[in-house]
Amino acid sequence: MIEVLIPSQLQSYCGGVSRVRAEGRAIGEVLDDLDRRYPGIRFRIVDEQDRIRPHMRLFVGRAAARDIRASLSDGDELLIFGALSGG
Amino acid sequence: MTELLIGTRKGAWVMRGDERRADWRLEGPLLLGQIVNHFVADPRDAKVRLIAAKTGHLGPTIFRSLDAGATWTEARRPPAFPRSDDPNARAVSHTFWLEPGHASEPGVWWAGASPPGLFVSEDNGATWESVAGFNENPMYDEWVPADAGTPDGPLLNQIVIDPRDPAHMYIATSTAGVFESLDRAASWAPLNQGVEVTFLPDPYPEFGQDAHFIALAPTMPDRIWQQNHCGVYRLDRPQRRWERIGKAMPAEVGDIGFTIVPHPRDADTAWVFPMDGTDVWPRVSPGGRPAVYRTRDAGASWSRQDRGFPTDQGWFTVKRQAFCADLGEPLGLYLGATNGEVWASADEGESWRGVARHLPEIYSLAVAPGA
């Protein structure tokens, strides 16, 4: 299982919680699992070409992930952040 | 009751006016913080409402209500381009325009996006399909040059359907002007003869114009009004050459703007809200004196209507989707401004009154059906 940190921008999909657990051996599989349970969440993080959206930041532990094909191991933590400045 | 649907840079609101359109009540916010480019109700079924939204962080989606806004759900499959292995493959940045389908096609909706893309839903916006006739057209890269765009990205900013024929459609784009389809979006042809471009070497190209807004005259659908980046135009089909009717506007005001509103019962009458397109294009009310201009003779002449607007130091702009009319008698007109104000006229533009202020920048304003 993967522990996933959900940013405030996406917590409305997950019943308001900031942490959920999901299954998958790669980031994309975890996002697929999240989308099955919280429909619509994946497309707001990743575009139709499977690219991480410009103002979303994903980390596996402390390592930045730039491709959803990045592999995960049981017990990893996937951190999702929204990163945008502006008024 | 008149109901106005307001989309803003930071959420959506609803305004309800009484029978006299004199007292207004603001309700909301809905989707606070989401960028709402369009908020539209379905004239075929007043309970159906769609919102095109995204936030600065999150990807674009469509929110749907089937109970006149009481509850909202998200599209199961929002507008998206086909999957591709091309590393530069297009992805929808935001849906900009939502268009209810033809009266004979209940449940059908069309959407225009940035980068320019056309999408269709057959189930009241729950799922959307890419329209290959435009999105995979062999001419796409010519119609959408890589370096073209508005400050918020290049747009397929409008879809218009001939009320007499669901297969006869027009679209407006910011990169190539107006296109026409006679086969329900399967193929498209440019329709820009006579429309000037001041930002390309050829001032009258086949395509390359920036069509800010087009509207059919409801009682004469062969008449198309256009507020272009470079002027106000009219086209009476089957002609193909647009006439620049904005030349009749006062020179000190010009004919630059974002939008145009036809009268629903009089094919010779329409309104524009000019903005300053001189120098560095401030895109504010010319001279700081907001006004609408009305033609009652198909663009041969224009008259200024500014009673109630600031007479000095009023610097707002009205964007493409933010000027609309109801079906009242006399006609009610409504505009949403970039400064977060809603202005209303209950006498066909003769006088104006601010009915809401302090909202975020207004992107869209629509009258709900039944008003």
Question: In this predicted complex, what is the ipTM?
Answer: 0.86
A80 close to B (CB below 8 A): no
Whether residue A19 is contained in a domain is answered as yes
**Is the CB of residue B212 less than 8 Å from the CB of residue B320?**
yes
Q: Which residue of A has its CA nearest to B63?
A: A40
**For residue range B86-126, what is the model confidence (pLDDT) as tens digits?**
989 999 999 999 999 999 999 999 999 999 999 999 999 99
- Residue-level length of chain B: 371
B32 close to A (CB below 8 A): no
Q: Which residue of B has its CA nearest to A49?
A: B83
Whether residue A87 is contained in a domain is answered as no
User: Which residues of chain B fall short of a pLDDT of 50?
Assistant: 371
DSSP B40-78: EEETTEEEEEEEEEE-SSSPPEEEEESSTTSS-EE-SB-
Which of 35-64 (B) contact A at CB < 8 A?
A: 55-59, 61
Which candidate from A7, A39, A56 shows the least CB-CB separation from B76? A39
Which candidate from B74, B81, B90 shows the least CB-CB separation from A40? B74
Please name every residue paired with A9 in a beta bridge, in sequence order, or none if there are none.
none
Cβ count within 10 A of residue B187: 13
Cβ of A53 and B80 within 8 Å?
Answer: no
Structural domain spans, chain B: 2-81+91-367
- Nearest Cα of chain A lies from the Cα of B31 at a distance, in angstroms, of 11
Whether residue A72 is contained in a domain is answered as yes
Structure tokens at B204: 């009258």
| Residue B356 to residues B24, B221, B271, B340, Cα–Cα distance (Å) | 8, 33, 21, 8
A67 close to B (CB below 8 A): no
The CATH class of the B2-81+91-367 domain is mainly beta
Structure tokens at B86: 């091309």
**For residue range A11-31, what is the model confidence (pLDDT) as tens digits?**
999 999 999 999 999 999 999
Which of 82-141 (B) contact A at CB < 8 A?
A: 82-84, 89-92
Strands (E), A13-73: 19-22, 56-60, 63-65
User: So what's the pLDDT on residue B146?
Assistant: 79
Cβ of A51 and B91 within 8 Å?
Answer: yes
Of B265, B165, B169, B160, nearest to B218 (Cα)?
Answer: B265
Backbone dihedral angles phi then psi of residue A35, each to the nearest 5 degrees:
-70, -30
Test mutation, B57, B64, B72, B130, chain A, max A CBs within 10 A:
B57
User: Which residues of chain A fall short of a pLDDT of 50?
Assistant: none
Q: Which residues in chain A have Cβ-Cβ distances shorter than 8 Å to B91? A: 47-49, 51
Test mutation, B58, B81, B119, chain A, max A CBs within 10 A:
B58
| pTM for the structure as a whole | 0.95
Domain count, chain A: 1
Whether residue A16 is contained in a domain is answered as yes
Q: Angle CA(A36)–CA(A40)–CA(A45) in degrees, nearest 5?
A: 105
Structure tokens at B168: 């006869």
Strands (E), B247-352: 257-262, 270-274, 292-295, 303-305, 323-325, 333-336, 342-345
What distance in Å separates the CA atoms of residue B130 and residue B185, rounded to the nearest whole number?
11
Q: Angle CA(B157)–CA(B258)–CA(B128) in degrees, nearest 5?
A: 15
For residue A14, what is the domain's CATH number? 3.10.20.30
- Nearest Cα of chain A lies from the Cα of B284 at a distance, in angstroms, of 21
Amino acid identity for residue B54 in this structure:
K
Structure tokens at B367: 């009258």
- Nearest Cα of chain B lies from the Cα of A25 at a distance, in angstroms, of 22
User: So what's the pLDDT on residue B82?
Assistant: 97
B73 close to A (CB below 8 A): no
What distance in Å separates the CA atoms of residue B34 and residue A12, rounded to the nearest whole number?
13
Look up the domain containing A67 and give its range.
2-82
